[in-house]
Amino acid sequence: MTRMAATRDGYGQALLDLAGNEKVVVLEADLGKSTKSLHFRKAYPHRTISCGIGEQNMLLVGAGLAASGYIPFASTFAIFTERAFEQMRNGVARPNLAVHLCGSHGGTHTGTDGSSAQSIEDLAVFRTLPNVVVMHPCDDVSTRELTMQLPALGKPSYMRTARNKTPVLYDGRENEVKIGKGIVLSEGNDVAIIACGVLVSESLKAAESLAEEGINATVVDMHTLKPIDGQLIDDLVAQCGALVTAEDHNVIGGLGSAVAEHIVANSFAPLEMVGVPDRFGESGQADEMLEIMKISAPYIALAAKKAISRK
């Protein structure tokens, strides 16, 4: 039986694991219970700074701390990180201060809160900022591993985590998770499916159904969207000759765009982009949202066949 867990729990665990570093501080905007920074708060209240419901202030308090030698981890819902976009741009990214921002409850998978809480543009907007590393891991283990690597990064980052549980893929495979390096989860030569976040497990399901039809797919967990693993993309183009991207994010500006930007400049292969079709969400269960947005496993499999047909 596959273990199920939410990526936000991996984030909360990582903060505890990092606490031995006295320079690590945690910033909250009244959502620590949700983003899972609350565990750090309980254990290390003097190194946890409540910013109230004030995301703009939180980002810049983080910048001031980073400029003073601290390693701040700030979190809120992905949607509310966008409220502090200009603070991230002008106060964090521009002076290259290593503030680590985590946006939980990203994507339509967030579910029943509805469209106001379903960030579908966070990865796109933060990807446009120079100096900022952008990540969207798919399970709690990789979230924890990536978060643990952030203090050594020396530059700002944005990581999206998810509210709901997804299959855990990396138990016992922790060493494979490195910032900036995509991970090949299954091998096939007909098509490569490059996914992030909650759609990684959907892509594995799609690969299984494709295999039943005699189509062999490579599935890649591209947990880091920026810097994108260009070498791996080039290898996938050479190996498979057709690509699919899959993300719970607007099809504009996210992982699909990052892959497209790379291949148009470096190599060529047909690319089908599975993502939220430039529309807002609505209230629904996580699995229902993937269906209504046409980003669940069957749609990924369909896109794979289309990509192959365009070879």
Partner 1 sequence: MSKSISELEEIARKCRVEIVKMVHRAQAGHPGGSLSEIDLLAALYATRMRIRPDDPKWSDRDRFILSKGHASPGMYAILAEMGFISHEDLKSYRVLGGVCQGHVDMKWCPGVDFSAGSLGMGLSFGMGCATAARLDKSDRRAFVMIGDGEMQEGSVWEAAMAAAHHELGNLKVILDRNRIQNDDFCEEQMRMFDIPAKWKAFGWNVKEIDGHNMNEIMEGLDFLESPENCQGPSILIAHTIKGGGISYMENNPSFHGAAPNDEQFHQAMIELGEVEA
Pick from 2, 4, 42, 67 the residue near partner 1 by CB under 8 A. 67
* Cβ atoms 300, 189 nearer than 8 A: no
Nearer to partner 1, 29 or 289 (CB): 29
How near is the Cβ of 72 to partner 1 at its closest, in Å? 8
Binding mask 16-55 for partner 1 (x = CB under 8 A): ---------x--------------------xx-xxxx-x-
Nearer to partner 1, 62 or 275 (CB): 62
Pick from 86, 261, 287, 291 the residue near partner 1 by CB under 8 A. 86
Kindly state the helix (H) or strand (E) to which residue 135 belongs, with its residue range: strand 133-135
- Measured distance CA(215)–CA(86) in Å, rounded: 45
291 interacts with partner 1 by CB under 8 A = no
Give me the phi and psi of 34, to 5 degrees please: -90, -40
130 interacts with partner 1 by CB under 8 A = no
Return the structure tokens found at 208. 């299984």
- Does the annotation count 86 as an active-site position? no
Please, which residues have CB within 8 angstroms of residue 52's CB and are 6 or more apart in sequence?
A: 29, 30
64 interacts with partner 1 by CB under 8 A = yes
Q: 43: how many CB neighbours lie within 10 A of its CB? A: 12
For residue 216, give the amino acid letter: N
Active-site option among 28, 55, 247, 272: 55
Sign of the alpha-carbon torsion through 75, 64, 18, 176:
positive
In the complex, the residues that contact partner 1 under the rule CB under 8 A are 25, 46-47, 49-52, 54, 56-70, 72, 86-87, 90-91, 94-96
Q: Which residues are the active-site residues?
A: 55
